[in-house]
A and B are shown apart, each in its own frame.
Chain A
Amino acid sequence: MAEPFLSIQHVRKSYGSNTVVQDFSLDVEPGEFVSFLGPSGCGKTTVLRMVAGFEDPSAGKIVVAGKDITRLKPNQRNVGMVFQAYALFPNLTVAQNIAFGLKVAGMNKADADKRVAEMLDMIKLPQMADRYPYQLSGGQQQRIALARAIAPKPKLLLLDEPLSALDAKVRVSLREEIRSIQKKLGITTIFVTHDQEEALSISDRIAVMYGGKAEQVATPFEIYNRPATKFVANFVGTLNVLEGKVTDAAAGTVQVNTQEVSLKGKLNGSKSGDTLSLALRPEAISLDRQPGHDTSLSGEIAEVHFLGSVIRVRVGIGGNTVSLDTFNNSATPPPVVGEKADISFSSGDMLVLH
């Protein structure tokens, strides 16, 4: 395996007795796009700020391209960063903002002008060179901030919730633009977000963080389909959690309410009598028996929400409630609350949460 481009090794950050990041480690390959995903206060921004040099780690080491940068100042790291609040310099024009890092690095005016023009073309805003930040929309300001961060050709690009302040439509288009620019330049990128859709859609890998630790680091597909912990399963996507009791560990049977479910080969380490949390994604469940569905549970329709193309149905199964979506069909009326219903799914889609 090639040497990682960015290596965060056993990093910890405490403020007095409050530890906000505990023993965080991550290796990022050259050109990789890794997202830190987690709720507010999980430590994702603190890790990013330690990589940028704005916070000193209480312990641990940060290595970029084989060089230990843990104690270097931010202006010595050759790292680019885009901030949530854009952080464009209000007194400078767009072109001057993009040229700022180039001037600081001592680039001559002709080369700097050429690079600024390249950057403006890259973000498709060549006509904005002479505007001031206050004359631009939020999306345009953030694209300029991206161009400014990339202009000095940094080794590493850090994006600190760059899309949070934008409206939904701009957010989607800009995240696609960020990903396409990142792929084109092949720049190693760390992206901090609390929006799971953003992280799932543009990342090579995601580090899901909680309580100052990485709960799971994996590809978006793995994070969604094979969450390693209960937190990851709950945080990423919608999840139905059913409480069950192991009736026969050897045979892999679990009792949910009064009904039996077979989970052969998934009960590693569990003993008969243990209580388990079982998880199912809504899209893995249907109200009628589908090909490949080997398990069914009986319950009662508890809620029906008509959302246009989709009907969201909640089915009560003993003390558990399962949510599932069905497509609207004009020939079939939606289920009625209080009706008996059988849900079916493939036991292979059921996750055992530890």
Chain B
Amino acid sequence: MKSGKFWAWVVFIVGAAYFFIPLMATVEFSLRMRRGVHSFDAYQIVLGDARFQSTFLYSVVAAIFTIILGVLIVVPAAYWIRLRLPQLRPIVEFITLLPLVIPAIVIVFGYIRMYGSNSPLPFLGSNMGANALLVIGYATLALPYMYRAVDTGLRTIDVRTLTEAAQILGAGWGTIIGRVILPNVLIAVLSGAFLTFAIVIGEFTMASLLNRPAFGPYLQNIGANRAYEPAALAIIAFAITWGCMSLIQILSRFAPKSSNRPN
């Protein structure tokens, strides 16, 4: 028993070291811009850079639209599959996993061929079209996370009985989804939303190949041309991602409670 505990601690310490040592080294390096002393100069330069602000804002807006599009597609689809088409679940789960096995570069080359300015659907013929295409591409990349989060949320409630209870009380589909289903899976939807946000903020391939002024290409550009700023940017991006994860944890405490899940 004691030997088991000892090895458990060894594994934990090795794992923690593997994770934290590069992180601490990056933090330490990002503070070394001023010769001989530790300072936040690299952070000041990065945060004061107009391109940082514009690209970050662009990616935040893209993330918000991606989340809206993802929720509009995934919530009704996952709900309908649970309610009426459970036999389609394995097929839909397979489809939602495809973005994990098909590289983003393949998807984006497909988009460029399909939606070029000479195609019947010329998304790439205008800035707005290219932005829309980027959001659609991001929604595809986030699909595995969004679908699983929502489906897990739906699994915690009796979708069929709640739907029937609402129907017999006179509710139509809009009321059922808006007032019964969505509020009960809201935390799951938010989890999916934050995962989507984290993906969109750091995504490089699609934004770069579609030539969009997003945060991912900016990160790459800074990384290729500067010394200390990329480390500061990496820490900032890391903080944003962890902030999102923490928000999921905090919000899950406010989930609607049920008899099965009273605490």
Contact = CB atoms under 8 A, between A and B. Distances in A.
A53 B169 CA distance: 12
Given A100-B169, A152-B169, A87 B164 contact: yes
Contact of B165 (A81, A91, A141, A152): A81
A104 to B, nearest CB: 4
Contacts of A77: 168
Given A83-B161, A87-B158, A90-B157, A104 B259 contact: no
A148 B183 contact: no
Given A83-B161, A85-B158, A134-B257, A104 B175 contact: yes
Given A132-B257, A133-B258, A74 B167 contact: yes
A154 to B, nearest CB: 8
A75 B170 contact: yes
A148 B183 CA distance: 19
A133 B180 CA distance: 14
Interface string B163-187: 0111111111001000110011000
A158 to B, nearest CB: 8
A100 B258 contact: no
A92 to B, nearest CB: 8
A90 B170 contact: no
Nearest to B180: A89
A52 interface: yes
B22 to A, nearest CB: 43
Interface string A322-344: 00000000000000000000000
Interface string A129-169: 00011100000010000001100100000000000000000
Contacts of B165: 81, 83, 87-89
A332 B184 CA distance: 64
Interface in A113-139: 132-134
B162 interface: yes
Contact of B168 (A80, A90, A105, A141): A80
Interface string A52-85: 1110000000000000000001110111110101
B162 A89 contact: yes
B120 interface: no
Contact of A101 (B169, B180, B256): B169
Nearest to B168: A81
B4 interface: no
Nearest to B257: A134
A43 B25 CA distance: 69
B237 to A, nearest CB: 35
A146 to B, nearest CB: 12
A91 B256 contact: yes
A87 B162 contact: yes
A234 B164 CA distance: 35
B184 A104 contact: no
Nearest to B260: A134
B262 interface: yes
B262 A74 contact: no
Interface of A: 52-54, 73-75, 77-81, 83, 85, 87-91, 100-101, 104-105, 132-134, 141, 148-149, 152
Given A91-B184, A100-B169, 8 more contacts: A74-B164, A78-B170, A87-B162, A87-B165, A89-B180, A90-B157, A134-B259, A141-B259
10 contacts: A74-B164, A78-B170, A80-B168, A85-B161, A87-B162, A89-B180, A90-B257, A104-B175, A133-B259, A149-B169
